[in-house]
Amino acid sequence: MSRIGKLPISIPSGVTVTSKDGVITVKGPKGELSQCVDPTIEVKVENNQIELTRPNDEKETKAKHGLYRALINNMVKGVSEGYRKELELVGVGYRAQNQGQVLELSLGYSHNIYVGLPDEIKIETKNERNQNPLIILECCDKQLLGQVCAKLRSFRKPEPYKGKGVKFVGEYIRRKAGKAAGAK
């Protein structure tokens, strides 16, 4: 089941990986992350590579093998390169501003939405004339970044008729025909 788990993870220069008591800690130029690993999965750090092995071929063990390999790989990539997501606000009068770690969104409601972001996430907003406002988020933790992006997107999901809402840059929104297309 898990072919991913068998692949070794190469450690780039500037990144240190330590394994102690079932906790993997990865330090790099972008930050530090740690992950608890199930005791059935054995982690070896040798020769600038991380290898994960499993004791048997049961279905649950195979699944955990691939899962922890993917999580550790995401941690190594995050502390060395980092992750970046861009959100675009599509709609008339939609705006985004940030002051420190507080993001202010104006999404067509009667009030503005204020969101406090974790300190690990770097935020930048761009409001250029004749272009949709952008929210650029950067972080070393892929899971945290995805969770924050999903929260911001949930305030106004893109609707299928005009495409208005908060969407990822490059995301395709399936459009529906309106009332005029059906009535003849």
Q: What is the pLDDT of residue 180?
A: 76
- Residue 181: predicted pLDDT: 62
Q: Could you tell me which of 108, 124, 115, 86 has the C-alpha nearest to residue 159?
A: 108
CA angle centred on 163, ends 158 and 168, rounded to 5°: 55
| CATH code, 83-168 | 3.90.930.12
Q: Which class is domain 9-80?
A: alpha beta
Q: How far is CA 101 from CA 89, 113, 121, 124, in A?
A: 19, 14, 8, 10
pLDDT on residue 1: 44
* Res 6: pLDDT: 86
| Cα 108 off chain centre by | 26
Query: What does the domain layout of the chain look like in residue ranges?
Result: 9-80, 83-168
Does residue 138 register a pLDDT over 80? yes
Same fold, 9-80 and 83-168: yes
Tens digit of each residue's pLDDT (9 = 90 or more) over 161-173 = 998 999 999 989 9
102 pairs with which residues across the strands?
99, 116
pLDDT tens-digit readout, 72-105: 999 999 999 999 999 999 999 999 999 999 999 9
